Amino acid sequence: MRHTQVKTDWEAVIGMEVHVQLATRSKMFCGCGTDYLGRPPNSNVCPVCLGLPGTLPVINRRAVELLLKSALALNCEIQPFTKFDRKNYFYPDLPKGYQISQYDLPMSRNGWIDIGGKRVRITRVHLEEDTGKLVHSGDSLHSGGESMVDLNRSGMPLMEIVTEPDLRSATDARDYAMELRALLRTIGASEADMEKGHLRAEANVSIRPRGSSQLGVKTELKNINSFRALHRAVEFELKRQGQLLESGGTVVQETRGWSEAEQRTISQRSKEFAEDYRYFPEPDLPPLTFEPAYIEELRNSLPELPAARRTRLAERAGLSEYDARLLTGELEVADFFERLLDLGAEPKPAANWVIGEVLPVFDGRLPDAADFAALVKGVQAGDFNRDQGRQIVTRLMEGAAFAEASAGMAQLSDAGELAAIVDRIISENPQAVADFRAGKQAAIGALIGKVKQASSGTANLKLATELLRDRLSR
């Protein structure tokens, strides 16, 4: 007997928990610095962040301020009364035996952020401290390796941003994380660099039959070090859960790590029982109350946020939403692009040059805006052709000034000179000419190539093409 298998139409349900390292100069509760990358292990510590008995934490005012600004930018309600709590658990990277975090009275709740027309609700944004790091040597603990602890990171200020399960695809999850990065960088709350661990995204992933209002069993994805990895990890997990349920299995609630090497998620820890952290209010820190005037002051100090800037740039420069998104992904690039417009560069060509030639190689450095604007204008005015423009950009990116970068370059636009070259190429290539006249449109490409070659790449190709077509149609 044959029967057709009806596959269930699954809907993805994804919530995100993102930890962000705040851009403060000192740690969350002590005076140790935050610039510890590359320093010897355990050289950036003090009695407070080592968790020695008898020490007292002091709240970092700047961290609170950066959190509040982030929460305001995420449209959250700031809570007038907030406190810190101890989250108790044992792990070798946590010398105190507890982490100072926030439990039932976080600093902010009930926000939202829009990604590509979809609203993602923010459940809460709270402040906590980071733990140290375990460093493993050898292949594994079971083959004679050692584990050592480095507490340089212990006590770094962390902001945790939790969403409702409003995301519906791997692309949503990635877009959310990217939008968050743009936002945090814009307000100066964090470098938000995933590769450096400044932004750590965890995705809670489950699926359910489309139309159902019940939530499926979720898995929590960790070890995600890039936006690409986030996209792949969620995509893999959605597929894995779908296949599991289709074949009659069940999803187990657990933490799964993303393996970049194997391109799959791997079970790390089952979460059959809810962990009990025995939270209680941190007795060494005072609760905080925020004056409405202080919150308003912070709200007014917020710069233009990425979404608003995108809309404005799209309108000002007549760009598509997609191009505007590319140009505003990096704060410096967005500023650079606006400088080009201020300097009189035409918006569309300027956008194309920045997206096509600057963004792919952007590493934090940018050419001088006035020099770059001169290039954009030069190509528009016909002083240089596109190939020459690209060469000039490369030199500008290497630090050359415009005069130096464009030295010796000029587009050959003299109709008489070009016509002479075109006539020579026509007489030297009778086969291509015959092909074109026989209806092979592609043959003109070969002839243009010859003109380009004969002019050492300087020919105004638009003009040369016109001349060629004119002569060949006679």
Stretch that binds Zn ion, among 31-39, 336-344, 405-413, 451-459 (CB under 5 A): 31-39
- The span of 42-50, 178-186, 193-201, 321-329 binding Zn ion (CB under 5 A) equals 42-50
Stretch that binds Zn ion, among 26-34, 108-116, 203-211, 397-405 (CB under 5 A): 26-34
Smallest gap, in angstroms, from Cβ of residue 35 to Zn ion?
A: 13
Mark the segment that binds Zn ion (CB under 5 A) among 22-30, 192-200, 412-420, 443-451.
22-30
Going by their DSSP bridges, the two strands 219-222 and 254-259 should be labelled as parallel
Phi-psi region of 245 (alpha: psi -120 to 50; beta: other; left: phi over 0): alpha
Q: Which of 299, 292, 323 is nearest to 310 (CA)?
A: 323
Window contacting Zn ion (CB under 5 A); options: 27-35, 110-118, 189-197, 307-315 = 27-35
CB of 152 to Zn ion, least distance (A): 10
Residue 105 binding Zn ion, by CB under 5 A:
no
Q: How far apart are CB 53 and Zn ion at their closest, in Å?
A: 15
Stretch that binds Zn ion, among 6-14, 18-26, 28-36, 131-139 (CB under 5 A): 28-36
Binding segment toward Zn ion, per CB under 5 A, in 40-48, 71-79, 129-137, 273-281 = 40-48
Based on CB atoms, which residue is closest to Zn ion, 95 or 281?
95
d(CA 164, CA 17): 9
Chain residues 305-364 in contact with Zn ion, contact rule CB under 5 A: none
At CA 17, angle to CA 14 and CA 20, rounded to 5?
145
Stretch that binds Zn ion, among 24-32, 393-401, 424-432, 434-442 (CB under 5 A): 24-32
Window contacting Zn ion (CB under 5 A); options: 44-52, 214-222, 289-297, 347-355: 44-52
Q: Which residues contact 405 (CB under 8 A, 6 or more apart)?
A: 371, 375, 392, 395, 396
Three-state SS string across 328-374, please?
HCCHHHHHHHHHHHHCCCCHHHHHHHHHHHHHHHCCCCCCCHHHHHH
The residues with which 264 forms a beta bridge, in sequence order, are 259
Q: Which is nearer to Zn ion, 32 or 233 (CB)?
A: 32
Of residues 129 and 383, the one with the C-beta less far from Zn ion: 129
What Cα–Cα distance (Å) separates residue 29 from each residue in 34, 61, 100, 231? 12, 10, 9, 35
Q: Judged by CB, which is closer to Zn ion: 64, or 122?
A: 64
Phi, psi torsion values for 8, nearest 5 degrees: -70, 140
Least distance CB 52 / Zn ion (angstroms)? 10
The answer to the question of residue 448 lying near Zn ion (CB under 5 A) is: no
| CB 151 to Zn ion: min, Å | 9
Write down the least CB distance from residue 27 to Zn ion, Å: 5
Nearer to Zn ion, 48 or 205 (CB): 48
Tell me whether residue 48 or residue 161 sits nearer to Zn ion (CB atom).
48
| Contact characters 49-88, Zn ion, x per CB under 5 A | x---------------------------------------
133 vs 222 by CB, closer to Zn ion: 133
Interface with Zn ion, residue 28, by CB under 5 A: no
Nearer to Zn ion, 61 or 142 (CB): 61
Of 8 and 43, CB closest to Zn ion:
43
Minimal distance, residue 43 CB to Zn ion, in Å? 11
Q: Which is nearer to Zn ion, 129 or 220 (CB)?
A: 129
Residue closer to Zn ion, measured from CB, 47 or 138: 47
Q: How many residues sit in the footprint of Zn ion (CB under 5 A)?
A: 5
Least distance CB 48 / Zn ion (angstroms): 5
- Contact between 46 and Zn ion per CB under 5 A: yes
Q: Within 10 Å of residue 42's Cβ, how many Cβ atoms?
A: 14
How far apart (Å, rounded) are the C-alpha atoms in residues 268 and 260? 15
Output the CA angle 311-225-260, nearest 5 degrees.
125
Q: Which is nearer to Zn ion, 30 or 115 (CB)?
A: 30
Rounded-to-integer distance, Cα 22 and Cα 85, Å:
19
Query: Which of 13, 30, 173, 333 is the binder for Zn ion (CB under 5 A)?
Result: 30
The yes or no reply on residue 32 touching Zn ion (CB under 5 A) is yes
Binding residues for Zn ion (CB under 5 A): 30, 32, 46, 48-49
